[in-house]
Every structure is written in C-alpha cells, then in structure tokens.
C-alpha cells in the first residue's frame, strides 16, 4: 500500500503550497513513485471556465484535462505525466454523489456529507493509489485551514489517517511567520493558532514549514515546536527565494528527507546534483535578456506561470537571466502608451494564448512591429492566430482579415483567416469542450522548426483551442511567404508557423510551455532566448 503525505496551509493563502508540495515530492522521487493529488474546494468541475486573472493559469494535461496550475509544478518537479482524475474538485465530487443518488446507489439512505461525501473522497485516494501503483500519494488540500469549502477534505484525510495508521501517513502544515516592522522579531502566534484550527479537526501535523523572509531563528523554531507539539527539527524554514527550483534544495538542507524516511519507514535519498547545478546557473548567470510578454492577463503573473517557468529553465541552460517585461496590450489600443516606448530594450517577444476580443488589436500591432524589426517572436496559440491575421492584413493586402472569434451579432468577419475548427461547430456547452490535450505534430522537413526539434519527424504537444488557421487561406498565405511547418498527422490542422527571412518568428497552435522542464527546456523557448541573446 502507498504511504500518504498530506499538505495543508494556514494563516494566509498564496504561500506557494503547490510548489512546496512539489518540492517535498521531488525529495522522495528518486526511488519512489510519487503521485500528486490536488483537492480544490470550489464547485466548478474544473478551472477550465475560470478567468485566469481569478484563478491563475489553467494547466492542460496530456489526457486533455484542464486542471489547477499546481499540476504545472508537479509535472515540472516530479517527472510524472499527471492525469485529470488526480485533480479533485468539490464540483466533481458532488456531481458524482448526485449521479449516484439518481442511479439508486443509496436507496433507502439519507445522503449526507459524512459519510457519503467523505467516503467518496477517500475512495478516490485509494483508487488512484492502486491504479497508479504509487509508493507515495501526495495530497495537497487547497485553501487555508478554516475555509468552509475545504472542511470535507480535512475530515476525509483525518479519517484516512485513522484507517492507514500513523506510520503510513504524515501531515505537513505550511504557515506564515510574519516579522512586523515594529517588533523586528519573527512571530509564531499565527502559526500556533492555525495549528490549533487543525487540531480542532483532529489533525496533528508532524512537520511545520514556516514561510518567512529569512530563516527561522532557533528561538522561533523552539517556540513553534513547544506550542505545536512537534520536535524542533520538524520545524522547517521556508524562506523566500529567487527561484522556485531552490526550494527542494532548501528543504533538503533543513533535513526534511530524514524526517519523512523515519516516519514513513521509507528510503529514497534525493538526487539533486544536476538540479543544483542548474539552480546555480539561475542564481548567478553571466548574461541577461529582456523578453516581453504581451497579453491581457498581465495583472496576475500566475496567469502565465508555465511561460515564466519555461523561460527560466531555458535561461538556466543558456547561463542567462530573463527579465520579463509585461505589456498589457489594451493599453496600446487605448493610446495610453506606444509600442516603441514599451519595447525599448526588449530583446524578444511572446504573444501568449488568450480568448475573446479585448486586447487583440494591440497584440496585432506588436506582432507587426516585431516582424518588421526582426525581433525574435514566439506566438503561442492565439499569438500564432493573430500573427497570421497580421500577415494577411499587412503583407497579403487583406485589410479585413481577422479571426471569427471576434464575431458577434452585428459584426461578421469578411476575411476569416482564422476560423472555427470543424469539430467545434456544433459545440454549445462550455466546460471541457475545446480541442484539448496531447496530440502528435508532424514536422515538415527542411523547415526551421524541424531543425530546432533536432530533425524529429513527429513531436507531441498539448493543445487548448476552438479556432484554427483557415485551411482555405493556407495556399495564399504560403505563396506570400509564410511557412506552415507543422501539421496534425492526418487532419489538415495547422500546428506550427514560421517566417523565412526573419531570424526567429515562430507561431504554435499548441502550448510548448506546458511540457518544458528544468532539465529539458522546450526547444522553442530555448531558441527564443538564444536568438534574443543575439539581439541583446
């Protein structure tokens, strides 16, 4: 049977529980199969229909699941190909409960939060553990202890602890240790109170990770140990760091692996040699470049979490610090600023994925500028579609070219160079209905993309879209100089685009950021940084 690690959070949200959980898993993953499960309290089935500004990036899995952005951290740290069933939401749980009830599976019974909902949650944990042949099930409970919406998960993990016994489960609590300017000392009271909230729920954490600007002092550790009933070695400093990839190294130095080994009776020494070297490169690089990310969700950087990581990973291999310049393209449309001003000193540009009408004319202007000025450019999903719109308008003379995504009742697109995918025409329901997940991409030999992917004939990438480059315009766009360098292997769906004569002007229908890893950065990001360095 698998052993369980349960991570909860307290005091405030936004402490990086996902990265902490992924780092804990990383420390054990050299010899053990660690499977992450994320429990979200909201009633959406999945985050796919939420605005990224509200909830951060929607991460897309190879199996097509739209899941919490923490799965980005898990996949980047744990070398797993996660599955959508590993993301529980209260929406999914209640849906199953109600379906069961209508099926008559509870005939004669009153269906209740306890035991029916908690039993179903526990059943999911056991089922995933069995299906995946897991050594460690790493359960992260979303939100902060005390949130109403997570109570049922907490009760379920309490019961789980009772069922599997203390040497098969460990509870880790992540909290915040403030250091108010007035007292100039680390304050443990919020942590004590947060642990008490857990205790009230029958959960006694064995490890407490205190997030703080500096290492926890021995006095702070002792105080937390005394009032939270843990040995002081089990109070771990979670200090602010420049790169998230430092966190497993930090927990390792604080002795966390030994505590886990002893408690769970396991042995899996961390393998961090290559990881540490790459982290050193991130911390002390020799070069630097500035890459602009031009989108409309720039108010919350978590909306583009995987892009930021893919850039940092590429920077580690190129000994380069990446400065990110955020450009909210609506500001260009509103005349608040100009492209020349915003892109001054910028060495490369990304136009990321997006949806709807707002901000797109600004993006199109940015793309025109980088095409004409030969600034390295990566257009991702909507970014590629808009690059085609720009090219059609400004090079091919189709002034009214656009994507039909902007169409509404009184506005129809005259020259639809981006159209709806045939498979999407009849789709009316919104959740989980886009073209989603991993697909093969056949590369066209003798193109730049083919070279950058090491002359591979076929690559695998992840998708999330409803629209595509209109096949009716492919010939005319190609006659005017664009090259479509990657296609779906059977259907004629354009998946990659490039512009010969420009050093690096590439568009992808897929999201290369989702599969980039620290040890193996995605080639398009790597080369975007490399070409941007030449401009720096």
Nearer to ligand GLN, 245 or 505 (CB): 505
C-alpha 236/C-alpha 231 separation (Å) is 11
Interface map 292-321 toward ligand GLN (x if CB under 6 A)? ------------------------------
Q: Is 155 in the site for ligand GLN (CB under 6 A)?
A: no
Exactly one of 201, 466, 517, 535 binds ligand GLN (CB under 6 A); that residue is: 466
Mark whether 173 is an active-site residue: no
Catalytic residue among 254, 342, 511, 522: 511
Mark whether 96 is an active-site residue: no
Exactly one of 405, 498, 513, 522 binds ligand GLN (CB under 6 A); that residue is: 405
Provide, rounded to whole angstroms, the least separation between the CB of residue 382 and ligand GLN.
4
C-alpha 455/C-alpha 448 separation (Å) is 9
Give the strand pairing for 207-212 and 467-469: unpaired
Per-residue DSSP letters for 57-126? Answer: PPEE-TTS-EE-THHHHHHHHH-----GGGEEEHHHHHHHHHHHHHHTTTTTSPP-IIIIIHHHHHHHHH
Nearer to ligand GLN, 325 or 464 (CB): 464
Beta carbons of 435 and 463 less than 8 angstroms apart: yes
Bridge partners (DSSP) listed for residue 138: 5, 36
Nearer to ligand GLN, 22 or 381 (CB): 381
Beta carbons of 457 and 472 less than 8 angstroms apart: no
Provide, rounded to whole angstroms, the least separation between the CB of residue 139 and ligand GLN.
30
- Segment 320-359, which members bind ligand GLN (CB under 6 A)? 353-355
C-alpha 149/C-alpha 142 separation (Å) is 9
Provide, rounded to whole angstroms, the least separation between the CB of residue 384 and ligand GLN.
8
Bridge partners (DSSP) listed for residue 39: 88, 141
Bridge partners (DSSP) listed for residue 163: none
Provide, rounded to whole angstroms, the least separation between the CB of residue 135 and ligand GLN.
35
Give 468's contacts (C-beta < 8 A, 6+ positions apart): 385, 418, 419, 420, 421, 493, 494, 509
Nearer to ligand GLN, 245 or 467 (CB): 467
Nearer to ligand GLN, 52 or 523 (CB): 52
- Segment 365-404, which members bind ligand GLN (CB under 6 A)? 381-382
Q: Is 210 in the site for ligand GLN (CB under 6 A)?
A: no
C-alpha 221/C-alpha 238 separation (Å) is 12
CA separation, residue 535 to residues 339, 341, 373, 530 (Å): 18, 17, 11, 9
What are the tokens at 411?
């506005």
What are the tokens at 375?
């600034």
For ligand GLN, the nearest residue by Cβ is 353
Q: Is 513 in the site for ligand GLN (CB under 6 A)?
A: no
# chain residues binding ligand GLN, by CB under 6 A: 10
Provide, rounded to whole angstroms, the least separation between the CB of residue 354 and ligand GLN.
5
What is the dihedral angle through the alpha carbons of 351, 451, 460, 18, rounded to the nearest 10 degrees?
-50
Provide, rounded to whole angstroms, the least separation between the CB of residue 529 and ligand GLN.
21
Catalytic residue among 39, 228, 294, 381: 381
Count of CB atoms situated within 10 Å of the CB of 35: 25
Q: Is 465 in the site for ligand GLN (CB under 6 A)?
A: yes
Nearer to ligand GLN, 161 or 353 (CB): 353
CA angle, corner 433, sides to 428 and 436, nearest 5?
A: 150
Give the strand pairing for 483-487 and 435-443: antiparallel
- Interface segment toward ligand GLN; rule CB under 6 A; list 49-57, 365-373, 458-466, 496-504: 458-466
Nearer to ligand GLN, 382 or 487 (CB): 382
Provide, rounded to whole angstroms, the least separation between the CB of residue 60 and ligand GLN.
9
Mark whether 511 is an active-site residue: yes
What are the catalytic residues?
A: 381, 511, 513
Contacts to ligand GLN by CB under 6 A? 353-355, 381-382, 405, 464-467
């Amino acid at each position: 049977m698998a052993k369980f690690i349960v991570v909860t959070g307290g005091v405030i949200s936004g402490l990086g529980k996902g990265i902490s959980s992924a780092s804990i898993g990383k420390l054990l993953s050299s010899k053990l199969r660690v499977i992450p499960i994320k429990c979200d309290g909201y009633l959406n089935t999945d985050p796919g229909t939420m605005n990224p500004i509200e909830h951060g990036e929607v991460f897309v899995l190879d199996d097509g699941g739209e899941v919490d952005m923490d799965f980005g951290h898990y996949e980047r740290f744990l070398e797993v190909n996660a599955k959508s069933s590993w993301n529980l939401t209260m929406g999914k749980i209640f849906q199953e409960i109600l379906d069961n009830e209508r099926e008559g599976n509870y005939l004669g019974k009153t269906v209740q939060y306890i035991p029916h909902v908690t039993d179903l949650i526990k059943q999911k944990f056991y089922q995933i553990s069995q299906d995946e042949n897991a050594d460690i099930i790493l359960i992260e409970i979303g939100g902060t202890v005390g949130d109403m919406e997570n109570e049922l998960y907490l009760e379920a993990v309490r019961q789980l602890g009772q069922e599997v016994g203390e040497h098969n489960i460990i509870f880790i609590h992540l909290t915040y240790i403030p250091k108010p300017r007035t007292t100039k000392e680390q304050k443990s009271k919020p942590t004590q109170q947060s642990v008490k909230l857990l205790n009230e729920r029958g959960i006694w954490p064995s490890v407490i990770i205190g997030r703080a600007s500096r290492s926890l002092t021995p006095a702070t550790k002792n105080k937390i140990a005394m009032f939270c009933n843990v040995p002081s070695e089990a109070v771990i400093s979670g200090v602010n760091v420049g790169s998230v990839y430092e966190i497993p190294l930090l927990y390792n130095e604080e002795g966390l692996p030994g505590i886990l080994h002893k408690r769970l009776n396991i042995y899996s020494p961390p393998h961090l040699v290559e990881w540490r070297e790459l982290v050193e490169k991130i911390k002390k690089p020799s070069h630097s470049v500035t890459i602009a990310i031009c989108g409309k969700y720039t108010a919350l950087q978590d909306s583009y979490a995987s892009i930021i990581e893919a850039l940092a990973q590429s920077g580690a291999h190129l000994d380069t610090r990446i400065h990110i310049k955020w450009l909210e393209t609506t500001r260009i449309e509103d005349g608040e600023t100009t492209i020349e001003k915003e892109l001054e000193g910028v060495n490369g540009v990304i136009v990321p994925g997006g949806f709807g009408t707002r901000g797109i004319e600004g993006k199109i202007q940015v793309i025109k500028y980088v095409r004409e000025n030969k600034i390295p450019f990566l257009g991702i999903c909507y970014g590629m579609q808009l690059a085609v719109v720009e090219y059609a308008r400004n090079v091919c003379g189709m002034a009214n070219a656009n994507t039909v995504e902007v169409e509404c009742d009184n506005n129809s697109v005259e020259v639809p160079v981006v159209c709806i995918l045939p498979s999407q025409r009849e789709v009316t329901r919104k959740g989980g209905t886009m073209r989603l997940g991993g697909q093969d991409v056949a590369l066209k030999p003798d193109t730049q993309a083919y070279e950058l992917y090491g002359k591979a004939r076929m690559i695998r990438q992840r998708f999330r879209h409803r629209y595509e480059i209109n096949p009716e315009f492919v010939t005319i766009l190609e006659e005017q100089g664009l090259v479509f360098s990657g296609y779906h292997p059977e259907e004629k769906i354009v998946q990659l685009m490039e512009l010969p004569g420009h050093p690096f002007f590439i568009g992808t229908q897929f999201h290369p950021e989702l599969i980039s890893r620290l040890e193996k950065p995605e080639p398009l990001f790597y080369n975007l940084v490399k070409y941007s360095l030449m401009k720096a």
